[in-house]
Every structure is written in structure tokens, then in C-alpha cells.
């Protein structure tokens, strides 16, 4: 059930009218995820809610109750793991997004903003109406070959064109609504959403963009021309990335997954998708608190100690 649907049980600043149907999902590869899922399920049952536990390996992700035509959709999805688990859940939900509460069992987790100790309080705040739903931009990436779309992928973080082996620069032409904007000569190009701005884009030197904005961030990888800098553009436009002469290993990658190897003359079309990824925030967990905690924005040397990324 989409959060934008008028029949959704979870509405901003409104307490649900009855018990919630909650799906608990997580990666089976994570050692303690099964035990944590059962703990959360008991916590929900004690409060009168229905819990569906779906722990799956990566090759099984996207199969099971969430996509079953026979079962009614959940009101809420609790994702155990890290940001990678949330990305897989967003792809799993596809065009039928429901609100997500991310519980971080990894080391960083920008999207998985709640700790396991926060879950009980978060559920209580949701049932009391002390929460908000924050919708985030999703995109469609289409690989175009010979004028025909050969692959379409729904994404949340970013679509990237990577030069690949033999690791020489490639040329990428950027068209905006059919008009040539610029030509990059680089090791690749990242087209990021605001949600993805703290992921690959940030590692490549791109800016942090507030998650609820409707924009795309274009960050070239090691561009040959110093004037090629990151550009932030409206998500209301359609963007085409043309690759006239790719390397043998050049590829289009969406949210860390290889979508297609690129052939000469291929293009990748990126545009705003209809569904919106929806995260639950409570009164104690907001956007800037997450940035302060994850990026060490508290000031001082201790806050600036390096962190390792993880959770995918």
C-alpha cells in the first residue's frame, strides 16, 4: 500500500485507527538478524499488532509475503540491517511503496536511522500519532540501445555510468530534455537522488542534499576537465546520458547493482519515478540528528574520528 494512497493506515500526525500489520525484513547473512526479528515481532505482538517476519538471503530478496497477491499489504515495513537492506527493500516494494522504519544493525546507516533500542519507543510514537512520513524521490533508469529500451530499473540512491576495464576515460554526453548540456570525459558519472547524496556521491566529492528535495545531483568521477563540477538539477526534467565509445567493461549501475553492460552508442535515460520511497521519522529522530551522529558534526576531534561504512 503506497503512503500516498488515501486508504493508507499511516498518515502524518494521525494515530492509526487500529492494530498495524507490520512486515519485518532483513538479510539472512547478518548473524543476529533472525533473533532481532523475533524480538521485534514479540514487541509488536505485545502491543496488539500483527507481525510478518521475512528474513531472506540476497538471492531470495523480493520473494514472499510482501509481493503476494493473496495477502493484504503491510501498513509498515521494519527493515533490519543497514542502508543496503533498505535499498533492497525499496526495490522489493517497487511501485507499491509503504512506509519504512529502518533499524541499523550495521556501522553507519543514513537511512536506517533507528537503533535496536529505539524500536519500542518508535512503535509507541507511531501508534500515538507522534510521527511524520517523509517521502523521497525515486527514479527510473532506462538503458536505450538502437532507439529501443532494453532494460528499465527502479532506483532510490543513484544511477551510475562507470568506465570499467581497461580503465581509461570515456566520453559521456548529458542531454537535458533532449538538449545537449555538456560532455564529460571522466572515469564515470553519478546521477544521485538527495537520498543517495550521502552515499557514492559523497564519497566522490559531491554535496549533501536534503533528502526531501526533488532534485538530481550530477557528479563526474575524476573528470579530465577541472571545470566539470557537480551540478544539482530539477527532478522535473528528463536526462539522457549517451556513451558513444564505451570501454569493454563499461556498465550502467543502479544502487550498486549492474543493470547492463554498455555498447557503443548506448544511452541511459534517467527521470523521476511515480512511486515515492517513504521513511518514518519520530519526534526524536530527524534529518539533522542523523547527519550529526553519522558524520560527527558535533565538533571537536573525537567527533571527527574516521568511521567505516557498512551495512550493505
User: Among all residues, which ones are annotated catalytic?
Assistant: 83
Beta strands in the chain (DSSP E): 21-27, 50-56, 76-81, 100-104, 131-136, 139-145, 148-155, 158-162, 170-176, 179-186, 188-192, 215-221, 231-234, 239-243, 251-254, 257-261, 266-272, 277-282
Q: Measured on CA atoms in the order 174, 176, 177, 179, is the torsion positive or negative?
A: negative
Nearest residue to 207 via CA among 242, 233, 170, 237: 233
As a whole number of angstroms, the distance between CA 88 and CA 27 comes to: 10
Phi and psi at residue 175, to the nearest 5°: -110, 135
Give the Cβ contact number of residue 245 at 10 Å: 10
As a whole number of angstroms, the distance between CA 138 and CA 200 comes to: 16
Phi and psi at residue 289, to the nearest 5°: -60, -40
As a whole number of angstroms, the distance between CA 96 and CA 76 comes to: 12
Phi and psi at residue 58, to the nearest 5°: -60, -35
Amino acid at each position: 500500500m503506497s503512503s500516498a494512497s488515501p486508504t493508507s493506515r499511516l498518515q502524518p500526525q494521525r494515530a492509526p485507527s487500529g492494530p498495524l500489520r507490520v512486515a519485518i525484513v532483513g538479510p539472512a547473512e547478518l548473524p543476529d538478524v533472525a533473533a532481532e526479528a523475533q524480538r521485534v515481532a514479540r514487541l509488536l505482538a505485545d502491543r496488539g499488532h500483527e507481525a510478518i517476519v521475512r528474513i531472506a538471503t540476497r538471492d531470495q530478496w523480493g520473494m514472499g509475503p510482501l509481493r503476494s497477491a493473496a495477502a493484504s499489504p503491510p501498513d509498515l515495513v521494519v527493515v533490519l540491517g543497514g542502508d543496503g537492506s533498505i535499498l533492497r527493500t525499496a526495490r522489493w516494494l517497487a511501485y507499491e511503496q509503504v512506509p519504512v522504519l529502518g533499524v541499523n544493525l550495521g556501522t553507519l546507516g543514513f537511512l536506517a536511522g533507528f537503533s535496536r533500542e529505539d524500536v519500542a519507543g518508535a512503535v509507541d510514537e507511531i501508534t500515538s500519532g507522534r510521527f511524520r512520513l517523509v517521502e523521497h524521490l525515486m527514479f527510473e533508469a532506462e538503458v536505450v540501445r538502437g532507439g529501443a529500451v532494453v532494460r528499465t530499473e527502479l532506483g532510490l540512491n543513484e544511477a551510475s555510468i562507470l568506465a570499467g576495464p581497461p580503465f581509461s576515460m570515456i566520453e559521456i554526453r548529458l542531454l537535458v530534455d533532449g538538449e545537449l548540456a555538456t560532455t564529460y570525459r571522466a572515469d564515470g558519472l553519478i546521477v544521485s537522488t538527495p537520498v543517495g547524496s550521502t552515499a557514492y556521491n559523497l564519497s566522490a566529492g559531491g554535496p549533501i542534499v536534503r533528502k526531501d528535495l526533488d532534485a538530481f545531483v550530477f557528479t563526474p568521477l575524476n573528470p579530465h576537465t577541472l571545470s566539470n563540477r557537480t551540478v544539482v538539477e530539477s527532478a522535473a526534467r528528463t536526462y539522457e546520458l549517451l556513451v558513444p565509445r564505451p570501454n569493454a567493461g563499461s556498465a550502467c549501475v543502479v544502487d550498486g547493482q549492474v543493470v547492463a553492460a554498455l555498447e557503443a552508442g548506448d544511452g541511459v535515460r534517467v527521470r523521476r519515478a511515480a512511486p515515492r520511497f517513504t521513511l518514518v521519522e519520530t519526534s526524536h529522530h530527524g534529518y539533522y540528528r542523523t547527519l550529526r551522529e553519522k558524520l560527527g558534526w558535533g565538533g571537536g576531534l573525537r567527533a571527527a574520528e574516521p568511521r567505516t561504512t557498512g551495512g550493505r
